[in-house]
Amino acid sequence: MACSTVTPPSTSFIGNKKDLNLSVFSSATPLSSQKRERKSKKICSVMSPQQSERKPATTGSVKTGMTMTEKIFARASEKPQLSPGENVWVDVDVLMTHDVCGPGSIGIFKKEFGQNAKVWDREKVVIIPDHYIFTTDERANRNVDILRDFCTEQNIKYFYDIKDLSNFKANPDYKGVCHVALAQEGHCRPGEVLLGTDSHTCTAGAFGQFATGIGNTDAGFVLGTGKLLLKVPPTLRFVMDGEMPDYLLAKDLILQIIGEISVAGGTYKAMEFVGSTVESLSMEERMTLCNMVVEAGGKNGIVPADSTTFKYLEDKTSVPYEPVYSDAKARFLKEYRFDISKLEPLVAKPHSPDNRALARECKDVKIDRVYIGSCTGGKTEDFMAAARVFLASGKKVKVPTFLVPATQKVWMDVYSLPVPGSGGKTCSQIFEEAGCDTPASPSCGACMGGPKDTYARLNEPQVCVSTTNRNFPGRMGHKEGQIYLASPYTAAASALTGYVTDPREFLQ
């Protein structure tokens, strides 16, 4: 795999002291002349001569180029210029919370602002039950009740409620996984600030906006004020070029990046994705790319908005938005370059997302099950990809294969959209022919374990190939379970053989 890194000449964010008027000599004065002046008995001025043709910037310092993330922070804080490391109060465009963190955030809001306090803007708060939904666990059910009561009290415009757990389709407002629902319902817009009480809120960076996860205390404060104090992160830039092989998906790209920089390599850094490969990706694939930046410690992931973005948003939002783009002279902490045409299908072995390996190197790893779902790998195109592998093989799966559509819309797509090259068959038909489990009710499912009656939860120490985002011990349930993170292609191929399998065995 071809990869190179380009590091700026100086690790300091101040690239040139002369640009900040820190030089005590005129740039036109030769160094030898400076030395002679020091030896002279005459007292010489050490101030630079006034350059009348250059007017000072309105901020009192020289303006420099900014990255996308810096520009969004500057706009949201009403500052003309910002640099990494600065702390600023930003105005929040959208705050999202769900059934796991919502009750805690609401409790803090009421404690700090008063039992009768009102949220700063009822149309900018989005509340999405999605984590522990289809369970008999009373505490999990109570969490959704707390959200419902709060939304009624506050007249929250965007509350995607569910009451009938026996049939999700009987709940027209219910969506499913928050990060996919935010995009589908038009809450993601270029240039905006979106905060959510979930670490994978960074998914929305695919739309050219700043999106990151926050804790309950911060969310409680945002509920009352619409603002949050944030530090401007430095930016890592990832340039991905080359034609994307038809056996790769965005999951392979982000696993490659995390394997390259480690789970700590992006700590409190913006991760900006550019290049011809990124430009060729669909919105759902860009969401996959940004979704897992937090597994590298990233503050946010971001992709420049383009015609693909604008087309996706055409029928989803009427709210005006203004995209931003990194300046040509923006300063990046480091730049990584990848030739994607040479990349092979990857997995992340237990028990860390940066435990990267080629899928073909793990062909002797026997597995017990396959899981296709989550905000990372449960979107419409993820199921289309899995169906393509099953269709190409014409075989049946050799291990239980669980399918959990992210949202109600994805579930409908699985049952209605024809798979290209299938003669009109839908994903659901292909999955049934391959012997997979019937697609489950849309939710986060077993991605985060959940109550013991959660569908497809790892309740035994089994080996699972999963399209989810984390493979730490206990993540999907049993603490001795082993999770291999993979793309939908690799997951489907592995289901067909009962071993970790390179999808090229069926796609070429």
| 167-222: pLDDT as tens digits | 999 999 999 999 999 999 999 999 999 999 999 999 999 999 999 999 999 999 99
- Kindly tell me the sign of the dihedral angle through the C-alpha atoms of 435, 440, 444, 450: negative
Instruction: Tell me what pLDDT residue 508 has.
Output: 83
**Averaged pLDDT, 378-399:** 98
Which tens digit of pLDDT belongs to each residue from 467-489? 999 999 999 999 999 999 999 99
Which tens digit of pLDDT belongs to each residue from 249-304? 999 999 999 999 999 999 999 999 999 999 999 999 999 999 999 999 999 999 99
| Stretch among 2-11, 75-84, 299-308, 388-397 having the lowest mean pLDDT | 2-11
**Which residue type occupies 318?**
S
DSSP states along 211-280: EEE--HHHHHHHHHHSEEEEEPPPEEEEEEESPPPTT--HHHHHHHHHHHH-TTTTTT-EEEEESHHHHH
Cis bond before residue 98 (omega within 30° of 0)? no
Is the predicted pLDDT of residue 20 greater than 80, yes or no? Answer: no
Which tens digit of pLDDT belongs to each residue from 408-427? 999 999 999 999 999 999 99
The number of beta carbons lying within 10 Å of the beta carbon of residue 67 is: 27
Is the predicted pLDDT of residue 503 greater than 60, yes or no? Answer: yes
Do residues 248 and 487 make contact, with C-beta atoms less than 8 angstroms apart? yes
Q: Measured between alpha carbons, how far is 117 from 67 in angstroms, rounded to an integer?
A: 37
Do residues 455 and 446 make contact, with C-beta atoms less than 8 angstroms apart? yes
Instruction: Tell me what pLDDT residue 3 has.
Output: 59
Q: Measured between alpha carbons, how far is 428 from 437 in angstroms, rounded to an integer?
A: 10
Do residues 469 and 395 make contact, with C-beta atoms less than 8 angstroms apart? no
Instruction: Tell me what pLDDT residue 63 has.
Output: 72
* Residue 64: band (very low, low, confident or very high) from pLDDT cuts 50, 70, 90: confident
* Residue 42: band (very low, low, confident or very high) from pLDDT cuts 50, 70, 90: very low
Q: How many CA atoms lie within 13 A of 42 on its CB side?
A: 6
Instruction: Tell me what pLDDT residue 375 has.
Output: 98
Q: Measured between alpha carbons, how far is 126 from 148 in angstroms, rounded to an integer?
A: 12
Answer left, alpha or beta for residue 498, where phi above 0 means left and psi between -120 and 50 means alpha.
left
Is the predicted pLDDT of residue 47 greater than 60, yes or no? Answer: no
Q: How many CA atoms lie within 13 A of 192 on its CB side?
A: 18
Find all residues with CB under 8 Å of 275, minimum gap 6, and list them: 238, 239, 240, 241, 338
**Averaged pLDDT, 2-27:** 39
Which tens digit of pLDDT belongs to each residue from 22-34? 333 233 333 333 4
Q: Which domains does the chain have, with CATH numbers?
A: 68-340 (3.30.499.10), 348-505 (3.30.499.10)
Element (H, E) at 489: helix 488-497
Both tokens of 433, joined, read 């022919």
- Kindly tell me the sign of the dihedral angle through the C-alpha atoms of 329, 332, 333, 334: negative
**Averaged pLDDT, 222-233:** 98
The number of beta carbons lying within 10 Å of the beta carbon of residue 120 is: 17
Strand order in the sheet with 158-159: 158-159, 125-128, 94-98, 193-196, 210-213
**Averaged pLDDT, 307-335:** 97
Which tens digit of pLDDT belongs to each residue from 347-378? 999 999 999 999 999 999 999 999 999 999 99
Strands 482-486, 346-348: parallel, antiparallel or unpaired by DSSP? antiparallel
Both tokens of 86, joined, read 């600065």
Which tens digit of pLDDT belongs to each residue from 153-169? 999 999 999 999 999 99
Is the predicted pLDDT of residue 14 greater than 70, yes or no? Answer: no
Instruction: Give the CA-trace dihedral at 20, 24, 29, 35, to 10 degrees.
Output: -140
